[in-house]
Amino acid sequence: MALARRSSNLLKPLSTASSSSSFLNRRPFSTDDSTTITIETSVPFTGHNCEPPSRSVDTTPKELMNFFTDMALMRRMEIAADSLYKSKLIRGFCHLYDGQEAVSIGMEAAITKKDCIITAYRDHCIFLGRGGTLLESFSELMGRQAGCSRGKGGSMHFYKKDACFFGGHGIVGAQVPLGCGLAFAQKYRKEDHVTFAMYGDGAANQGQLFEALNMAALWDLPAILVCENNHYGMGTAEWRAAKSPSYYKRGDYVPGLKVDGMDAFAVKQACKFAKEHALKNGPIILEMDTYRYHGHSMSDPGSTYRTRDEISGVRQERDPIERIRKLILAHDLATEKELKDIEKLARKEVDEAIAKAKESPMPDDPELFTNVYRKGFGVESFGTDRKEVRATLP
Amino acid sequence: MWGIIKQKLGARGLSAPVFGDCMHRLRPMASAIRRYSSATKQMTVRDALNSALDEEMAADSDVFLMGEEVGEYQGAYKISKGLLDKYGSERVVDTPITEAGFTGIGVGAAYHGLKPVVEFMTFNFAMQAIDQIINSAAKTNYMSAGKINVPIVFRGPNGPAAGVGAQHSQCYGAWYGSVPGLKVLVPYSSEDARGLLKAAIRDPDPVVFLENEMLYGESFPVSTEALDSSFSLPIGKAKIEREGKDVTITAFSKMVGYALKAAEILEKEGINAEVINLRSIRPLDRATINASVRKTNRLVTVEEGFPQHGVGAEICATVVEDSFNYLDTPVERIAGADVPTPYAANLERLAFPQIEDVVRAAKRTCCRSVPMAANV
């Protein structure tokens, strides 16, 4: 939408594909959609009360390239957000997703925009995966009118209703019953779609999760609970918070699958499997074994409760983007330089989006009073000094 | 005699009870001592809370702290820094992110006679646990006809911070303040923080202790008396922060600072404001508030919470009921805007009281300006 098309003559001449599973609007790489490449996931899946899917995943060169490009963009966006926060252009809370990109990317590759996603506050990349733009993202983070919530929500409250992305939630665990509610509506309306309710290992112990899961199972709701286990609930390691950190087993009678969340293809396979299951048999839990490089939020250095060696070790051994890079090079779909150019381009796009977002104005004062209700019946609302500022809610 | 006392004060080597006794016997001289010694220390609210927790845990082994990140992380806002090292993991308990569960566990422990201090990372998260606070803690002494009291403290930051959005900015003073069986305290200064938290921990009833994130880093002078480990402030008594004769401004928590600044501005315009630091929402110090309004004849209430059914609404009602004939002009309420908290900085500024709002309202009570209701 807002981003200009870029063509590159450094790249192999390739056919343009009309349907792109990537959310990026300009594709310097439009690759082969017909050749099948079979990838083995890093590790086999572990099933709980279910037969796990095969670890052989089919993909195409186009999908592989898209994975790389999209994750590179997500990574860049989060790193740029870090800088913006430090320059005080982003205020309040900012929870970054870098390291976890494969979960969003793999999930999107397996589902449609009619399937619902709901998550907690680490939502910037999920928003991008659902088709949100960098401009909407950065504008929202900086509290500007061009933001996806017009500057009124902030980092934790991104939404994209037209792509069935229902936020963006600040209270740990609350999004899981909400997700089951989305699934309830999907079943009520006899849709052929599912809901992915995402939560972290910290939220996995929340009582409301089990309440909602019980009902989802009782009523055969097409709900897929996705635990993004990055092993730390803020500063508390999983083993200090959960008697059983086998989150994929916590559903008891609800089947579960343990997935390498740093492997986009494992995620894709698992989500495909889960969607098929949920439409026939009700809820299933996916535990994505993943990792966040940043601390819990920008106010958390992330190094008081884990070692720098651990963080760099994961970056070295399991980085999701590196994994795809190696696959692309192994299958000779692009050269090292071309991949580096993609990353440079991602950086450029991010910088441009930030520059444009900075131009977007702050919300006008009357926006204080908009959207309190969908239908306000002309009721009065008040500012801080009720005799000085009052408004009529439409 | 004075020399010895000064030494004793300076050394701080005496055991708490002895020191306390000295202070008690010397109480009539206390003000003299204060004027005499220049030892008014500066202390942040954070350190005030930390030291209060430390001292109360040292004094009573039934007191323990539980909440998210209170132990190894040293506290999400570092209020409990050092306590895990000092008291161990049995008394400084890191919980999973499960408010309903751990609040219930805390209340149960209090039923059995322990004295839990339950920390909520913010009171927004306490909504997950509000059934336990209200139904299991607040009402139990009554329902059991006094057999089971609940000596628990629920504490944590309350109200808006800076840019944390709608789900993280609500003030719960009015909600908890409406519940019989609870005591609700709202410290402002470091002395408030120390004295009120100590009182809360020692109190045999459930206390909701509403702190403010923005105040944690602020420094205030603390008297030597306040530094003593036996120090505490009475629950249910407001403090007159600034005496005045023209208008009464009531406030709590961060808004006390705003009210004081507003008072300085008003002073320049010849309006002499009396600022009351509520310190306690429940019990509400109606006597102090009414006495003040009977003196000044004008009232402005200030709070960050939503206006409808707010703390200010109760104060206005109480003054209109008890001191109607003393009011020269209508009561004024300054409160948070009647909207969920927006994120954008300019809108957030419009959503919470600013010093100029307090000044304007005070001037209105003094008939210094014509009130305008601007239709937005």
Which of the two residues, A34 and A58, has the higher pLDDT score? A58
Interface contact flag, A154 B353, Cβ < 8 Å: no
Closest residue of chain B to A145, computed from CA coordinates: B344
Is residue B371 assigned to a domain? no
Is residue B15 assigned to a domain? no
Q: Are residues B161 and B191 in the same domain?
A: yes
Confidence of residue A32 (pLDDT cuts 50, 70, 90): confident
Q: Are residues B66 and B214 in the same domain?
A: yes
Q: Are residues B208 and B78 in the same domain?
A: yes
Q: Are residues B156 and B121 in the same domain?
A: yes
Number of neighbouring beta carbons within 10 Å of residue B264: 12
User: What is the end-to-end Cα distance of chain A in Å, rounded?
Assistant: 31
| Among candidate residues B108, B127, B124, the one with its CA nearest the CA of residue B116 | B108
Is residue B33 assigned to a domain? no
Q: Are residues B186 and B314 in the same domain?
A: no
In a mutagenesis test of the A interface, which of B343, B357, B368 is the best target, namely the one with the most A β-carbons within 10 Å?
B343
Q: Taking all residues of chain A, what is their mean pLDDT, rounded to a whole number?
A: 93
Q: Using a CB-CB distance cutoff of 8 angstroms, which residues of chain B are in contact with residue A385?
A: 334, 353, 357, 360-361
Classify A272 as helix, strand or coil. helix
> Given B227, B256, B290, which residue is the final one in a domain?
B227
The whole-angstrom distance between A194's CA and the closest CA on chain B is 27
* pLDDT for the residue A300: 97
Closest residue of chain A to B341, computed from CA coordinates: A152
Closest Cβ opposite residue A205 in set B97, B164, B372: B97
Q: Using a CB-CB distance cutoff of 8 angstroms, which residues of chain B are in contact with residue A367?
A: 342, 344, 347
b/e map B88-123, b = 16+ CB within 10 Å: eeebbbbbbbbbbbbbbbbbebbbeebbbbbbbbbb
Could you tell me the two tokens for A385? 């000094």
Confidence of residue A14 (pLDDT cuts 50, 70, 90): very low
Closest Cβ opposite residue A305 in set B72, B165, B371: B72
- CB B306, CB B174: distance < 8 Å: yes
Q: Are residues B190 and B48 in the same domain?
A: yes
Closest residue of chain A to B306, computed from CA coordinates: A384
Number of domain units in chain B: 2
Closest Cβ opposite residue A304 in set B73, B165, B333: B73
CA B36 – CA B51 distance, rounded (Å): 25
In a mutagenesis test of the B interface, which of A385, A390, A392, A393 is the best target, namely the one with the most B β-carbons within 10 Å?
A385
Interface contact flag, A206 B97, Cβ < 8 Å: yes
Q: Are residues B154 and B278 in the same domain?
A: no
Q: Are residues B248 and B213 in the same domain?
A: no
Catalytic residues of B: 99, 168
Could you tell me the two tokens for B62? 């039934």
Is residue B316 assigned to a domain? yes
* pLDDT for the residue B57: 98
Interface contact flag, B96 A305, Cβ < 8 Å: no
Q: What is the mean pLDDT of residues A274-303?
A: 98
ipTM reported for the complex, 2 dp: 0.90
Lowest mean pLDDT among A13-27, A145-159, A228-242, A319-333: A13-27
Q: What is the mean pLDDT of residues A52-67?
A: 97
C-alpha distances in angstroms, A177 versus A172, A221, B171?
A: 11, 12, 25
Is residue B141 assigned to a domain? yes
Q: Which amino acid is at A267?
A: V
Interface contact flag, B165 A93, Cβ < 8 Å: yes
* pLDDT for the residue B275: 98
Closest residue of chain B to A204, computed from CA coordinates: B97
**pLDDT over 60 at A13, yes or no:** no
Interface contact flag, A389 B364, Cβ < 8 Å: no
CA B232 – CA B16 distance, rounded (Å): 13
Length of chain B (residues): 376
> Given B196, B227, B258, which residue is the final one in a domain?
B227
Positions of chain B with pLDDT under 70? 1-39, 369-376
The whole-angstrom distance between A339's CA and the closest CA on chain B is 37
> Given B227, B259, B283, which residue is the final one in a domain?
B227
Q: Are residues B173 and B313 in the same domain?
A: no
Closest Cβ opposite residue B334 in set A208, A236, A385: A385
Q: Using a CB-CB distance cutoff of 8 angstroms, which residues of chain B are in contact with residue A143?
A: 163, 343-347
* pLDDT for the residue A201: 98
Closest Cβ opposite residue A206 in set B98, B364, B373: B98
Is residue B32 assigned to a domain? no
Interface contact flag, B376 A386, Cβ < 8 Å: no
Which of B 326-345 lie inside 8 A of A, CB atoms? 332-340, 342-345
Interface contact flag, B376 A391, Cβ < 8 Å: yes
Q: Using a CB-CB distance cutoff of 8 angstroms, which residues of chain B are in contact with residue A91?
A: 162-163, 343, 345
CA A50 – CA A68 distance, rounded (Å): 31
Q: Are residues B130 and B221 in the same domain?
A: yes
**pLDDT over 90 at A83, yes or no:** yes
Q: Are residues B191 and B282 in the same domain?
A: no
| Among candidate residues A52, A108, A70, A17, the one with its CA nearest the CA of residue A324 | A70
CATH of the domain at B81: 3.40.50.970
* pLDDT for the residue A9: 34
CA B18 – CA B16 distance, rounded (Å): 6
Q: Are residues B258 and B197 in the same domain?
A: no
Q: Using a CB-CB distance cutoff of 8 angstroms, which residues of chain A are in contact with residue B375?
A: 390-392
CA A81 – CA A75 distance, rounded (Å): 10
CATH of the domain at B295: 3.40.50.920
Interface contact flag, A153 B334, Cβ < 8 Å: no
CA B351 – CA A353 distance, rounded (Å): 29
| Among candidate residues B206, B25, B193, B22, the one with its CA nearest the CA of residue B116 | B206
- CA gyration radius, chain A: 21
Q: What are phi and psi of A196, to 5 degrees?
A: -105, 110
Could you tell me the two tokens for A233? 């609930």
Q: Which amino acid is at A282?
A: G
* pLDDT for the residue A30: 58
* pLDDT for the residue B2: 39
Is residue B10 assigned to a domain? no
* pLDDT for the residue B368: 78
Number of neighbouring beta carbons within 10 Å of residue B220: 20
pLDDT digits (tens, 9 = 90+) for B180-221: 999 999 999 999 999 999 999 999 999 999 999 999 999 999
In a mutagenesis test of the A interface, which of B68, B78, B338, B341 is the best target, namely the one with the most A β-carbons within 10 Å?
B338
Residues spanned by the domain of B135: 40-227
Which of B 113-152 lie inside 8 A of A, CB atoms? 124-125, 127-128
Q: What are phi and psi of B67, to 5 degrees?
A: 160, 180
Is residue B210 assigned to a domain? yes
